[in-house]
């Protein structure tokens, strides 16, 4: 018993001084990351952003095809109904624009949403938000087999409770999702190796 007393006193002194029991900062959940500031994600490690992207991918597959009566991460209109878009795999590189998406017309003039950022960001694989949004838009619209008759308006919607929504011919992208999508793919892997 006498041996325990000094050890107990030392641990109590350390705890009182903040040496032990210091709270550990935890990464946000994927849904929390979407509703927060997109710029805050730049301060998260690449591995944390990649894990958040993987979480969104798993959720997209889980929600796929459901009626969007409850909040879904990727709502789209299909046959006049709001449903969760087809899911995508976590290994899918959303910044790798598909060959077939090149003919699609996209408009970024921001008639209702915030303007897209044009400065290049390391955490977006060296792209600007606008460039990343264009690649993600083409990739997802092609993956979802959406063939618009005219130009698709692409709006920036920071803090939205969803990642990407396609409703009434307008594609709304949460810029936080771009930072998570950029954590996946060959370009981010190459940067991580250097």
For residue 121, is it within any domain? yes
For residue 10, is it within any domain? no
For residue 76, is it within any domain? yes
Are 34 and 176 in contact, with CB atoms under 8 Å apart?
yes
Q: How many CB atoms lie within 10 A of CB 173?
A: 28
pTM over 0.85: no
Provide the residue-wise pLDDT of the chain in tens; the chain has 194 residues. 444 444 434 444 444 555 555 454 566 788 888 888 888 888 888 899 999 999 999 999 999 988 877 788 999 988 888 999 999 999 889 998 776 545 788 988 766 668 888 889 888 899 999 999 999 999 999 999 988 888 999 999 999 999 999 998 899 999 999 999 999 865 444 444 33
Domain that holds residue 124: 30-185
What's phi and psi for 120, nearest 5 deg?
-75, 145
For residue 8, is it within any domain? no
Up-side HSE of residue 164: CA atoms within 13 Å toward CB?
Answer: 30
For residue 194, is it within any domain? no
The number of domains in the chain is: 1
For residue 9, is it within any domain? no
For residue 120, is it within any domain? yes
For residue 25, is it within any domain? no
């Amino acid at each position: 018993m006498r041996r325990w007393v000094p050890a107990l006193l030392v641990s109590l002194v350390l705890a009182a001084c903040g040496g032990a029991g210091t709270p550990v900062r935890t990464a946000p959940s994927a849904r929390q990351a979407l509703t927060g500031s997109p710029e805050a994600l730049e301060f998260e490690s690449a591995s944390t952003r990649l894990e958040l992207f993987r979480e969104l991918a798993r959720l997209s597959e889980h929600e796929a095809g459901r009626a969007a009566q409850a909040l879904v991460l990727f709502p789209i209109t299909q046959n006049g109904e709001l449903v969760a878009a087809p899911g995508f795999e976590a290994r899918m590189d959303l910044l790798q624009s598909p060959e077939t998406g090149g003919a699609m017309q996209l408009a970024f003039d921001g008639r209702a949403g915030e303007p897209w950022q044009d400065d290049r960001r390391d955490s977006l694989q060296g792209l600007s938000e606008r460039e990343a949004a264009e690649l993600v838009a083409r990739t997802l619209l092609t993956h979802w087999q959406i063939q618009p008759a005219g130009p698709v308006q692409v709006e920036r919607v920071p803090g939205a409770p969803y990642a990407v929504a396609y409703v009434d011919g307008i594609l709304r992208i949460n810029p936080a999702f771009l930072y998570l999508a950029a954590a996946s793919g060959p370009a981010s892997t190459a940067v991580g190796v250097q």
